[in-house]
Chain A
Amino acid sequence: MTAQLAPTVLVVGNGMVGHRVVEELASRGLTRTHRVIVVGEEPRVAYDRVHLTELFEGKQASELSLSTRDQYEAWGVELCVGEAAVHIDREARTVRTRAGDRTREISWDHLVLATGSTPFVPPTAGQDLPGCFVYRTIEDIEALRAWPARVGVVVGGGLLGLEAANALRGLGVRAHVVELAPRLLALQLDDQGGALLREKIEALSLVVHTGTTVRRIEPGDGRAGVGRVVLASGESIDADVVVFSAGVRPRDDLARAAGLEIGPRGGVVIDERCLTSDERVHAVGECVSFRGGTFGLVAPGYQMARVVAATLGGEHARFDGGDANAKLKLLGVDVGSFGDHQARTPGARLVSFQDTRAGVYKKLVLSPDGKRLIGGVLVGDASAYGALAAAVASGTPMPKRPEELILPAREGGGGGLGVDSLAASAMLCSCHNVTKGSVVDAIRERRLSVVSEIKACTKAGTGCGSCVSLLSDVLKLELTRAGVEVANHLCEHFPASRQELYHLVRLHGLRSFREVLERHGQGSGCEICKPAVASILASAWNEHVLDKRHLPLQDTNDRYLANLQRDGTYSVVPRVPGGEITPDKLIAIGRVAQRYGLYCKLTGGQRVDLLGARQEQLPAIWAELIAEGFESGHAYGKALRTVKSCVGSTWCRYGVQDSVALAIRLEQRYRGLRSPHKLKSAVSGCARECAEAQSKDFGVIATERGYNLYVCGNGGMKPAHAQLFLTDLDEQALVRAIDRFLMFYIRTADRLQRTSTWFATLEGGMDYLRSVLVDDSLGICAELEAEMAAHVASYRCEWAEVLADPDKLRRFRPFVNSDATDPSIVFVTERGQPRPARAEERAADPEALP
């Protein structure tokens, strides 16, 4: 088909909705079968007007752009920006345009009007004075920003007005907001919601005047431009800038002149196919009038754009009027409003919650029978917006006590309408018409793991952005169902999470960082992804971490199989399983410490820490320790550390089980197991809990009938109590449960995520963990056990292997070209032991930077 024969679609307007029309045409292949021409009067490609205020937060105008000329070119669409349509001839089917002083006629077969709206400026004396602005385009913002001002008046307390007030505030201007209605956000909120919002905004030093208007604007003394604003209430404000943002009016002048039908409140009248009174002319967005009403939000415009493209493609599509749902953050306050939020439905029931102390107001509007949600308002906390708005759209039945949906979440209580309860047909993204079902399908079929991928695949969340948290909830739920936990990309080198990489390493049998990088990453890696992949490889295959291909990946401590201290020396911790040690072995440790001049300290994990070892001393120290029967304690690894114990029933008058023997068996079973973070454990011989098992990643407390297993606790910076997982287990069942638990954690946790933070991310908490690890709801328990069995069978002492390998040993030399020792390491004696010399105790450091 030649270009001459292809029907021409002319889109007038390249705003958000006009651009969307082109996207919708392109996605249907219509830009190949039609000649598509776009004219837009603004000097740039369509941009995101909704987020204009971000220009005041450091964003560049170019970052708001929704597309590029290249993209239009790739679609085969002729884009003419800086060219305004000035006349429509419906008979001849042409549009006259003007660019600068050039005019031309463009012929069309189908015309799409997307001329948008203009800011409404209520007739006000002095409105043309310099210093009066509107708030609509990037050019408006730039002009406003260039105008020096100290005090400003914003005319209009709706969405746009509050955005403008925020922008002024960002410029350091003290802002007054003047709203004709008795409350702020009159279209979105009820009186209580408006009052709360006002209170919050006034706390930000903004001044709010409701129920009044600007009577006149007067020039200042001795200055050209705005100087004073007088309100209808008589009040006068010494202001030097005025921003009109009192709503918009459809730009229907072209259509009007062309004789198209115009609505009672302005706007080109359209039907459900978005056709005007002329069958060949469509109209979309804020320039239309539909069932007598006009539009001021982008989401309905996007729906119209879809209907137009579908209609032109011969599909059956109908515009249903859209919704006026809105979720925004205005001046730092979260606001959401959806459905019949003003409860206009006869017989509607209300449930509301107000906490003026916390600054939260929430209202649900229920159907007369109380069974369905039909609308609502949220101020101060709009976190439930996505789920509630979707529940309105899909008619999700309400729980017995709908108030639970808006009451503050109680400790441990479920609270809220989880995404799980939404039907597949529920609309998550009304900007792009994406249902929960299609998001779930995309996640499953295309194995998506991060929200940005969902956005790319489905476009959901790329409009107003209000559904992003909901998308993240759906993703989390789906991934959790699949046995995967949510996380961000590892780093710039891997567009994948740790759990994805773990899965890929296992699935494809990847054995080296290079293989993982070549298949799933880019660049050469860094200190984030290298240790993370090293840990995954170690968990999966248990090869020696200092093998040539793994060596460059190892983090600080793993690199030398010892713990780096502040002066560049290392500490050494031999394994003392269960904390049980013979006198001979204690003496042996002491002898080694004496011989190498090491500082000794007992650890919290019932072991002995030997500090102050130079890197070149490590092999000799370990040769002696191994000769005395010790092995590596993995104190340096993100790995199992210790299983401490109390003396148990053998000695203790109260003990009911042999906690020492069990701790030794557990430590020997899991020693050397590398994991996303360190793992600590303990076994207590009775409920007195002397081993502090409830502060461990997995802890065991003996009972008369066996063992109780606690999981996901830790001490440290953010202590977490372990939670009771299973009770009265025999040792075999206990070991099986721990095997499964540890391997599930290793499989699904994020990098450097302790078990307690991992647990916090599991939707369904302990019940979920039991369903996976006890009831085997995911069918993975046999795999988990087999993986642990493979680890146990492959355990070797890392240090014994180093000593047997000259190639590994040579890496402990301090200088690659000299046998000298590092002169920067200096000790002094304190309380009979060595410690690193402080700066003032040593000769001046020759290499210290100025």
Chain B
Amino acid sequence: MSDMNRWLDVISIDHIDPDTGACALVDGTQVALVRVGEGDTVYAIANRDPFSGAYVLSRGIVGDATGAPKIASPMYKHSFDLRTGVCLDDPSVRLPTWPVRVRRGRVEILLEASLHAAA
């Protein structure tokens, strides 16, 4: 894998329902793509729930905690800040996150060193 950062086209935004997550397989890594609202706001966070070890985070409920966008794991309901990956119930735990952009209706994720560090 090259060291250069590159934006990778993943999926049409229409394939992610508003205010839900969807799991994408990006270079073998399970990434939860979480769409907040009905627009182009999408976050990418690891799909693996660190408390159960199950790959389920994308199936959680999307919401906010005092304005901070978050997703709650469906397993034991731990919430994670979508911007930072920090677990709101246990800030010592932090999940990998990746930059995301939406171009002409396509969701793109920035693969950089951190992804491979995590993967």
Contacts and interface: CB of A to CB of B under 8 A. Distances in A.
Interface string B61-92: 11111110110101101010000000000000
B36 interface: yes
Nearest to B62: A552
B74 A564 contact: yes
A493 B65 CA distance: 9
A824 B20 contact: no
Contact of B59 (A556, A817, A824): A556
Contacts of A817: 10-11, 15, 24-26
Interface in A810-850: 811, 814-818, 820, 822, 824, 839, 845-849
Nearest to B23: A815
A814 B23 contact: yes
A814 B54 CA distance: 13
Main SS at interface, chain A: loop
A101 B33 CA distance: 65
A847 B118 contact: yes
Contacts of A527: 60-61, 63, 72, 77, 79
A6 interface: no
Contacts of B36: 524
A586 B44 CA distance: 44
A524 B64 contact: yes
A560 interface: yes
Contact of A847 (B24, B29, B66, B77): B29
Contact of B25 (A526, A556, A815, A849): A815
B17 A820 contact: no
A526 B65 contact: yes
Contacts of A190: none
Nearest to A531: B61
A138 to B, nearest CB: 29
Contacts of B19: 524, 552
Given A559-B59, A824-B54, A526 B64 contact: yes
Nearest to B58: A816
A362 to B, nearest CB: 43
Nearest to A567: B54
Contacts of B67: 523
B53 A839 contact: yes
B74 A555 contact: yes
Nearest to B79: A527
Given A814-B23, A822-B55, A849-B50, A524 B37 contact: yes
B55 A824 contact: yes
Nearest to A559: B59
A817 B69 CA distance: 24
Contacts of B50: 848-849
> Which interface residue of A554, A566, A849 has the most chain B CB atoms within 10 A?
A849
Contacts of A849: 50, 93, 95
A551 interface: yes
B66 A492 contact: yes
Contacts of A816: 10-11, 15-16, 22-24, 33
Interface in A530-566: 530-531, 548, 551-556, 559-560, 564, 566
Contacts of B20: 551-552
B24 A524 contact: no
B62 to A, nearest CB: 6
Given A552-B19, A552-B20, A849-B50, A525 B25 contact: no
Nearest to A569: B54
A590 interface: no
Contacts of A615: 59
A523 B64 contact: yes
B74 A552 contact: no
> Which interface residue of B53, B70, B118 has the most chain A CB atoms within 10 A?
B53
A560 B17 contact: no
A29 interface: no
A566 B54 contact: yes
A530 B23 contact: no
Nearest to A818: B25
Contacts of B56: 564, 568
A687 to B, nearest CB: 42
A538 to B, nearest CB: 16
B56 to A, nearest CB: 5
A845 B61 contact: no
A848 B53 contact: yes
B61 A552 contact: yes
Nearest to B75: A564
B4 interface: no
B61 A553 contact: yes
A556 B25 CA distance: 21
B111 to A, nearest CB: 14
A559 B19 CA distance: 13
A850 to B, nearest CB: 10
A590 B79 CA distance: 39
B23 A559 contact: no
Contacts of A820: 25
Nearest to A847: B48
Nearest to A615: B59
Given A526-B64, A556-B59, A818-B25, A566 B52 contact: yes
9 contacts: A523-B63, A526-B79, A552-B62, A566-B52, A815-B25, A816-B15, A816-B33, A847-B46, A847-B48
Interface of A: 492-493, 523-527, 529-531, 548, 551-556, 559-560, 564, 566-568, 615, 811, 814-818, 820, 822, 824, 839, 845-849
Given A527-B61, A817-B24, 13 more contacts: A523-B67, A524-B69, A526-B63, A552-B20, A556-B60, A811-B17, A814-B23, A817-B26, A818-B25, A824-B48, A824-B54, A845-B48, A847-B29
The 3 closest A-B pairs by CB, nearest first: A526-B63, A527-B72, A556-B74
